[in-house]
Amino acid sequence: MDSLLESASTYAEVLRNCSSVKVAEWKQEDLERAVNWAEYFKRVNARLQKKPALVRKFDTQLKEISSQTGGRFAQKTLSTEFLGNSLDYLIMSLLENPYLPEGIKELVHQKYATEDHHKHMEKYASTQALFATLTAMHNKLSKHAPSFLKSMSIYLSIYISCVLTLRVS
């Protein structure tokens, strides 16, 4: 169980990196290693599901690791179930990451992205466009509007936050 926890901790670090600037240095081998981790934990999850007591124990230990490392991923806590389904999280995080090298992004699209991933990316792109439009409106109102309109700018900021929360989740 200790080696499994150590592997989970290592993979959690890979998952955190896939949403960061660190992917700018990724090569094909890094992508394949991350996908291999996801596939490994999918198999682990399938085997553990037959042993609920082990799942509870492993999840308790994963929760402890999460509390020490800030292990939340897209509002999900590190768990056996999350690790078992983490390939989707991995793919989406990489596709949404502006620092991912173009060649690696193409490889993700070609080898790993499903129709659901492509639909999500269309929604994500429209959310980014909406965010840019709302941000431009906010900036204009903040800069040029009389004081009573500045309060409207605050409401627009709140609206932007709400829209992003609803559209991305």
pLDDT of residue 103: 93
pLDDT of residue 78: 80
- The pLDDT tens digits of the residues spanning 99-139 come to 999 999 999 888 887 787 777 777 777 777 777 787 777 77
CB 90 within 8 A of CB 18: yes
pLDDT of residue 111: 85
Measured in degrees and rounded to the nearest 5, phi and psi for residue 76 equal -115, 145
Can you tell me the distance from the alpha carbon of 159 to that of 15, in angstroms, rounded to the nearest whole number?
Answer: 30
Can you tell me the distance from the alpha carbon of 118 to that of 38, in angstroms, rounded to the nearest whole number?
Answer: 19
**For range 43-62, the mean pLDDT:** 90
Residue 103 neighbours by CB distance under 10 Å: 12
Using a 10 angstrom Cβ sphere, with 0-12 exposed, 13-18 middle and 19 or more buried, the burial of residue 124 is middle
Per-domain boundaries in the chain: 2-113, 119-168
Q: Strand pairing partners for 24?
A: none
Q: Model's pTM, two decimal places?
A: 0.68
Read off the DSSP letter of residue 74: T
Q: Strand pairing partners for 73?
A: 76
- The pLDDT tens digits of the residues spanning 74-88 come to 456 788 888 888 888
- What does the block give as tokens for 166? 């609803």
- Please report, for residues 39, 86, 114, the alpha-carbon distance to residue 36 in angstroms, rounded to integers and kept in the order given: 5, 11, 17
